[in-house]
Every structure is written in structure tokens, then in C-alpha cells.
Amino acid sequence: MEKFVTVGRSDDVPEGEATAFAVLDEEVAIARVDGDLYAFSDVCSHRRCNLAMGGEIEGAAISCECHGSVFDMATGAPMNPPATEPIAVFPVREEHGEIQIEL
Amino acid sequence: MTTPGSIVVVGGSLAGATAAATLRDEGFDGRVVLLGAEPLPPYERPGLSKEVLRGEQPIEEHFVRPPEWYADHEVELRTGTRAVQLDPAAREVVLAGGKRLGYDRLIVATGCRNRTLQAPGASLPGIFELRTAEDSAAIRSAAAAGARVVCVGMGFIGAEVAASLRMLGCGVTVVEVFETTLYRILGPDIGRVLEGIHRDHGVTMVFNDTVASYEGDGRVEAVVTSAGRRIECDAVVVGIGTEPSVELMAGTGLDQGGGIPVGPTLETEVPGVFAVGDVARHDHPVFGPIRVEHFDNAVKMGAVAARNALGGSEVFADPHWFWSDQYDHQIQMAGFAPTWDRMVVRGSLGGRSFCAFLLDESGVVRGTVSLDWPRDVRRSFGLISAQAVPDRAALADPETDLRTLVTAGEG
């Protein structure tokens, strides 16, 4: 059963950027690249830095500004050390000008 | 090149563990032995002057891989095992105690040791250095709130330790040979910005002075400086630089004071032997032969050397990048710029939020330094790698995306 929750408005997440949202107890980042949305944990699995603030997006990858770990925003997989553990990713959709994710 | 049967990594370090992990990631199914001189499995060192020193995180949180990872991936991790001599003719390393271990490829990641200060009283208890988890724990045990600590040297280690000790409530006095903090790497202008931050956090700083002797009855009680100051203290932390641990290469001619020389692909002149991380003096395609002691470099060199040990020919050309956390501030630096001709700043030095570009006499961007302005350091990688000569007004303008200046600079 789908349980999508609204996290913000579509224009909260401009193209090419990631934005942080607090959803229940989760820190979630939502990024938009080439029109596609990605929702993932905003907390780096290496030293718990926030990814959306200062993270650099290249294609479907985001790098952590603290220590350079890179994650695949679609799968959460670590693509470059020092992180060796994945981050959580969430289903995301856009409806009626709102961004919704499923936790 | 034939596929090696066994690969030995000397150094249970970030670079060494990353090399071992990369061998498995690349599908290598031969024997992998990882030799670590310390009792712990490989761990990351940056936290030793920060979260671990302050008791906020246990060392286990800083392990490069969980302890069980090594056995799970058939990596023979031998902690407490020091390799003391290379025998290139036999393709063996000699271990402390005399046992020998054969290799088809060898990756040397032996790192550095701290420089020591030869001064009367230097062996008194209460005088510490910082390199290992054990060192960090020892400093922590001496750094109760209210303890008076002298930090000798205000490079990155000294500055981070001073910050952490203030955060723990210690009284901190610094004795630094240069005229300000971080002078040798960041120069006087940025150094003074950091000096101001430490002063605002209550650190007492003595510049242009050195330790002449230590005094104490059974334990250090005071530092006496060359200028005649006497600073009473309960503990001392010495952070005055490092030297590469090259002894393994004795007899090969590669045990050089500036580090083990490696070519662009991280291979040494000894067939089948690579060197990575702090110990490697690397012939960098952009910067020339250099040795650096950065976390990110250890990770990336470890990975590249592993792939090249398996037959690759990847040139290591990373623009280099590191960070330093002090109080709630973060410094980042990219590139390699031991000296520079001109500094262009976007943001404000006085406002303690800036990105500074270090240009050589031709206007080439050799390095980038930021304080609480991180995004632009990573965005400057392209400029540094391309040896670009960007427009200075554009560099100084925070609205200009540095990534757009790479081609402009080349034209």
C-alpha cells in the first residue's frame, strides 16, 4: 500500500540542486537533475554530515562536502570513499505541485 | 603483465586498507595480506585530534572497515606485525622477528612518524605526541577540564588539538616557531585569521619562539622557551611535523628523506613495488614530485595503486584536497602551493568566511583555501588540474561559478 507523504512544494527543489527536508524523524534530501527527482537520506553514512547543504551534484551522484564521499542518489550506493556504507533512498513523486515521498 | 598470485600491503592504514579493499572490489581472488604494525585494525586518523580526543566517539567508529570485514573478504589482516626490510631479489618482505613473506606485488603504505624535539627534559612523563589511537587516548587522559596544556607547534595538528583541548575546558598555551598559526602552509594573511579564531576561544599564543627545555620533578611542570619564557603546565603536546617512514626500503636507494619516490602510476623503480599515501613522493603530472599527508590522498592513492598492481596503468593526477575542523569552523584546501605570488579572495578574510585562490607568477591557480566557504574549493578542482589562468575579477566574484572558468582560463 502506498503511503506517500508531502514534504514540500515543487518549487522548493530547483533543477540541479538538493534541498533538505525534515520528514517525521528522518532528515531527507531531495534533488532534481534533468527533471528527475531523487529522495535520499540527507545524512552521510561516513561522519553524519548533511549532504544537501554544500553537496555537489554531478549527474545522479552527490558528493559530501565534509570528506568527499560520493553517493548514487538513485540507489544510495557509495561510489567513492571514505564512505563504505549506503544511504537510504526513498520513492518520490510529484503531484499537484507537491513533492511526496514514501518512507 | 601476468596476473599476480599474491599481493602484500605493508601498512595497516587508511591507504593500506583501501588498497586491500580495492583489490577485492576489482575481483582479485589471489592472496591478499595486510600487515599493520599497530594492535588495532586500520582506522582513520583525522578524528584522533577531534571527536576521538574529545571523547565524543570511540575509535571503533573510525575503523576503515568493520573488524570482521577482513576475514569475510579473505584479507589476511595481521595486526601487531611490522615489516622491517624489503628483499627485492627474493620478492619477500622480512618481518620483525625474521620471518619472511613472499609477494608478487607489494604496496607500501607505511606512512610517517612524528618529528621529535630534542630538548632537555623531553622524556619527562606528561609530554605527548599524536599519531596513534593510543597517543590520542593518552592525551585525553591528561586533559581533564582545568588542566594547563602547552601545544608546541601550530600547524594543523597543533591547531586542531588546541581547539579540542579548549572545548574540553583545558587552559591552552601555544608555542610556535613562526609568526602566526598555520604559517608554513597557509601564509601570514590566512594564518592570522585562524590565529584570531583561536585567540577568541581563549588560547594564549607565543610566536617566534621555541622550546629550550622542559622542567619537572618526575613529570613535566613547565616549558622554558628560547626567549626565556617559563610556562607552567600539566601536559605538553608536541606537533612539529613529520618524516616519512621509509626504512622498509633500505638498500634499494629509495629510503629517501623526502619519501619513497614513485612514478605517475605510483610504482617504484623496484619491479612490482608500489608506494602510496603519506610515505610516497609522487611524480604528479601537474605539481611535479611531491609528498602530501592528506586523508583523501591516502584513499585515492590506495585505490589507484591496487588497480595498477593488478595490471592497470592509471596515472594518479588528483588535484589534492584536505580539510581541517577547528571549533565550529572548517578549513578546506585543494591543490599544492608551497609558495605563491598573489592571493585573490572571494568573501572576506576579516569576516572569517572566504575562498582564497593562490596564484603563481603566471597567474596559474596552484591552490585554493577556504574558511567556512566549502563549495568553491571542490569547484576549483578543474581550475587546478587544467593549470588555468582565470580572470582575477571573476575569481573574486562569489557569483561566478568556478567551473565555468576552466575553459576561459585555458584560452
Question: What ipTM was assigned to the predicted interfaces of this complex?
Answer: 0.70
| pLDDT for B410 beyond 80 | no
Give the model confidence (pLDDT) of B73-87 as tens digits: 999 999 999 999 999
| Cβ contact B151:B178 at 8 Å | no
- Per cent of chain A over pLDDT 90 is 70
Per-residue confidence band for A82, with pLDDT thresholds at 50, 70 and 90:
confident
Q: What is the CATH number of the domain that holds B333?
A: 3.30.390.30
- Please indicate if any CB of chain A lies within 8 Å of the CB of B378: yes
> Is the per-residue pLDDT at B411 higher than 50?
no
pLDDT at A3 over 90: no
Does B299 sit within 8 Å of A65, measured CB to CB? no
Please check whether residues B24 and B58 belong to one and the same domain: yes
Could you read off the pLDDT of B145-193 as tens digits, one per residue? Answer: 999 999 999 999 999 999 999 999 999 999 999 999 999 999 999 999 9
Residue B319 lies in a domain: no
Cα A71 to Cα A57, A63, A68, B165, B387, distances in angstroms: 10, 6, 10, 34, 28
Instruction: Return d(Cα B227, Cα B400) in angstroms, integer.
Output: 48
B157 and B93 within one domain: no
The residue behind cell 611535523 is: B241
Distance from CA of A47 to the nearest CA of B (A): 9
A82 preceded by a cis bond (ω within 30 of 0): yes
Q: What is the pLDDT of residue B221?
A: 98
Instruction: Note whether residue B10 is domain-resident.
Output: yes
- Average pLDDT on B322-327 reads 94
What is the distance in angstroms between the Cα of B148 and the nearest Cα belonging to chain A?
A: 30
Q: Is residue B315 situated within a structural domain?
A: no
Number of domains in chain A: 1
In a domain, B317, yes or no: no
Closest residue of chain A to B376, computed from CA coordinates? A54
Within-domain flag for B314:
no
Kind of pairing between the strands at B31-35 and B75-78: parallel
- Please tell me the total count of domains within chain B: 3
Q: Are residues B226 and B246 in the same domain?
A: no
Beta-carbon contacts of B161 under 8 Å, excluding residues fewer than 6 positions away, are: B49, B53, B130, B139, B151, B237, B239
**Residue A47 belongs to what domain range?**
4-102
Residues of chain B positioned with their CB less than 8 A from the CB of A67: 295-296, 323
Q: Which residues contact B68 (CB under 8 A, 6 or more apart)?
A: none
Range of the domain at B73: 6-113+242-309
Instruction: Please tell me whether residues B139 and B216 are part of one structural domain.
Output: yes
**What pLDDT, on the 0 to 100 scale, is given for residue A2?**
67
**CB-CB under 8 Å, A81 with B303:** yes
